[in-house]
Amino acid sequence: MVSRNWQLDLITHKYVWAGDLRSVGYFTNGLKFLKMLIIDIQALIAKMSLEDVKERLVEII
């Protein structure tokens, strides 16, 4: 993801977003893209470290 002055926090399995409305759109589009690819993120986390999963997702997106 492009890092700007936007903030995303995961709090009790809910996404809380602070910042520009464009950032919400980018985040939504990213999630839709991952859903279309049918990527099982939980399975990836079980197989590799969280940092490796993050790197892979950045490559995919």
Give residue 29's domain range.
7-60
In a domain, 2, yes or no: no
Q: Does the pLDDT of residue 12 top 60, yes or no? A: no
Q: Which residues have a Cβ under 8 Å from the Cβ of 16 and sit 6 or more positions away?
A: 8, 9, 10
In a domain, 17, yes or no: yes
Helix (H) or strand (E) holding 3: none
What pLDDT shows up at residue 47? 92
pLDDT at residue 34 greater than cutoff 80: no
| 35 falls within a domain | yes
Q: Is residue 15 part of a domain?
A: yes
- Is residue 17 within 8 A of residue 8, CB to CB? The reply is yes
> Is 1 part of a structural domain of the chain?
no
As given in the structure block, the two tokens for residue 2 are 């492009």
> Residue 54's pLDDT is what?
87
Mean pLDDT estimate for the chain = 73
Which range (6-20, 21-35, 45-59) has the least confidence?
6-20
**How many structural domains is the chain composed of?**
1
What gap in Å lies between CA 11 and CA 47, rounded to an integer? 24
